[in-house]
Structure 1
Amino acid sequence: MNQNPLSFIESADIKASPRRHTTPLERLESPPLNLDKLPDGIVAGNTLIDYSAAPEGVRGPLSLAMTFASRAASASLRDGDDEDDWFAGYKTNLMRLGFTVSQSAFTRSRFKKRGIAVHNAIIPFLTIALGGAAVGPVILALLQNLKEMDSNQPWITLFDQESRKFETREMLFGAVSSDVVESRMRHVAARLSFIDSQTNVLFFKVTDVAAEFESATTTVSANNSLLAAIEPRLRERLGESIFDFIKDVAI
């Protein structure tokens, strides 16, 4: 993947998703985040990200890059493409932005219990996929406490709307850690079989129809200097729509 990241940022189609329109009232209720000081937990497009082990300086550019890769993947879909095509395009776009992306490890399971909400049902699977309870603590705590939250919060609405691309519902999670040179993300794509398209996926109760669960775990990494170099152009290309696709998920 030899393309210059800045050339890709200039040329990629990132047309806005027709599924996402932020209303003036929602903008008023959810003020724009400071991209230079993002909190420990955010949603960037369709990915719930845990930044508790990453410094503030890498959070903004990493969130912008993931949002850009996601929107470019959605814009490149053709008739007949499915969730596998989207996910392959998403990972390819991250590589075009200069990221190193590992091969994905796939796991297929079936829920043993029925009648519990998805956010509770996936916690054991997600804990293993992330690499243990010490990885992604913000994500795991948020899922455990989700029953106490308003399902209409902007980040929940965004996360749900962005998961509605195909007949399956695919939720993406990322736990980030950094050192002075590099930022690494344990990235998990959690896919459920077809469920009621009108029901928020996190609050949907597991039934026989939605009992099959598949996850893809991928390691994504980027040089911190590269992230700093591409951030200004990512901000320009994403423009005013940045805050439509990035929301605070503070617990």
Structure 2
Amino acid sequence: MNTEDVTSYIEQVELASPEESMLLAGEDLPQFEDWTPQGAVVDSNLVTYPEGTRLSVKNAVGAWLLFAQRAASAKVPDKEDTIGWASAYHDTLLRTGWVQRGQTDAWTEENLTGSKVHEQILAVVTVVLGAAPAALAIVTAALKSLQAMDQESPWITLFDRRGKDATAVGFQVANCEASDDGGAALHAVDFRLRAKQTLTQVLFFKLTRNEASLFRRGVVLELTPDVLKDIGPAIQKRVRADMLDSIAAIDLAVPAPN
């Protein structure tokens, strides 16, 4: 990877702006902290950070995910093109230093008949992250924390912002594992939601008939310490003005392992 080429791409790539401002800076929201297990809504993604994750890694990874989402939305403005959006999102991460570990799983379809989206997501992450109990526990805690919130809370409104008033949306649920040497790995599940009626609340969307499908695939991405150090500042510089409007930390009470 040529650092100068990557930095040049970061500086020049087009980033979409959200249709409405959240003004999260005016909300009484948790702050990111060193070592503390936390979750975060990053635009329309959910990412969790286990105990021991440095603040610098949380800030860098959050900025990277925000940058990739904004780049994907600029490249694929059609909200209905969830496959194109997901591909552009991953392409942006790979072009800016993330490395894919193994092959990405094929898209698998899940029907939403009689269930809400967050319930189906919980079922999916249990299967995909089941081999990593610590990751499964903190992602489950984050989803349940969102479930317990008022559906007009800033976290839910932020997560819904891109998918609101559309019939399709792409998003990701991921756990960020920081390595001892200062790198990071994302154990993630990509989701695409397609419905026959307009979405109003993505996470709590519910249908009683077979009118919506949820597609998912698993992926693991890694970021080396050198890339985080060399490229991270350029990423954060591009989205710094948007971070307070697009990233909201979640305090978690992570359940003890069984």
Q: Deviations over 1:73-104 (max 9, x none)?
A: 11122669711111111111111111102532
Which amino acid in 2 is paired with 1:168?
A
Structure 1 residue matching 2:195: 3-state secondary structure: coil
- Residue identity (%): 27
- How far apart, in 1, do the equivalents of 2:51 and 2:225 lie? 15
Determine the structure 2 residue equivalent to 1:43: 41
- List runs of 5+ in structure 2 lacking aligned partners: 253-258
Is contact 1:190–1:216 with CA below 8 Å preserved after alignment?
yes
The match for 2:7 is: 6
Distance 1:126 1:160, change over 3 A: same
Aligned to 1:64: 63
**Residue type matched to 2:242 in 1?**
S
* Range with greater deviation from structure 2 (233-242 or 55-64): 233-242
* Aligned 8 A contact 1:73 1:93 in 2: yes
Return the alpha-carbon distance in structure 1 between the equivalents of residues 36 and 10 of structure 2. 22
1:79 and 1:232 map into 2 onto residues whose CA distance is 30
In structure 1, what is the equivalent of residue 255 of structure 2? none
- Quote the Cα distance in structure 1 between the aligned partners of 2:79 and 2:168: 14
Matches within 5 A, 1:61-210: 61-77=60-76, 82-102=81-101, 103-111=103-111, 114-132=113-131, 133-164=133-164, 167-181=167-181, 182-194=183-195, 196-210=197-211
* Aligned-partner Cα distance in 2 for 1:165–1:218: 28
Partner of 1:247: 248
Tell whether the 8 Å contact from 1:188 to 1:218 is kept in structure 2 after alignment. yes
Post-superposition shift, 1:232?
2.4
1:228-247 alignment to 2 at 5 Å?
Answer: 228-247=229-248
Distance verdict in 2 for CA 1:76–1:213, change over 3 Å: closer
Is 1:222 aligned with 2:231? no
2: distance between equivalents of 1:36 and 1:231?
18
Aligned-partner Cα distance in 1 for 2:36–2:242: 17
The 1:77/1:34 distance shift into structure 2, 3 A limit, reads: same
How many angstroms apart in 1 are the aligned matches of 2:196 and 2:144?
21
Structure 1 residues 63 and 37, CA gap change in structure 2 (3 angstroms): farther
Amino acid corresponding to residue 69 of structure 2 in structure 1: S
* TM-score normalised by L of structure 1: 0.84
| Structure 1, 34-43 or 68-77: larger mean CA deviation | 34-43
Superposed displacement of residue 69, structure 1: 1.2
SS of structure 1 residue aligned to 2:22: coil
Contact 1:40 1:51 in 2 (8 A): yes
For each residue in 1:104-152, what CA deviation from the matched residue of structure 2 results, as whole angstroms up to 9, or x when unmatched? 20242444x8433221233121211234443242221232354431112
Aligned residue for 1:52? Answer: 50
Displacement after TM superposition at 1:205 (Å): 1.8
User: Aligned partners of 1:40, 1:69: CA distance in 2, in Å?
Assistant: 21
Contact conserved, 1:176 with 1:184, CA < 8 A, in 2?
A: yes
Distance 1:74 1:175 in 2: 22
**TM-score when scaled to structure 2?**
0.82
Query: RMSD of aligned C-alpha atoms?
Result: 2.9
Q: Secondary structure at the match of 1:213?
A: strand
Partners in 1 of 2:46 and 2:79 — Cα distance?
Answer: 27
CA separation in 2, counterparts of 1:249 and 1:29? 13
- What amino acid is aligned across from residue 8 of structure 1 in structure 2? Y
Q: Which residue of 2 aligns with 1:212?
A: 213
Cα shift readout 1:21-55 (whole Å, capped 9, x = no counterpart):
124xx532245845878861011122100111552
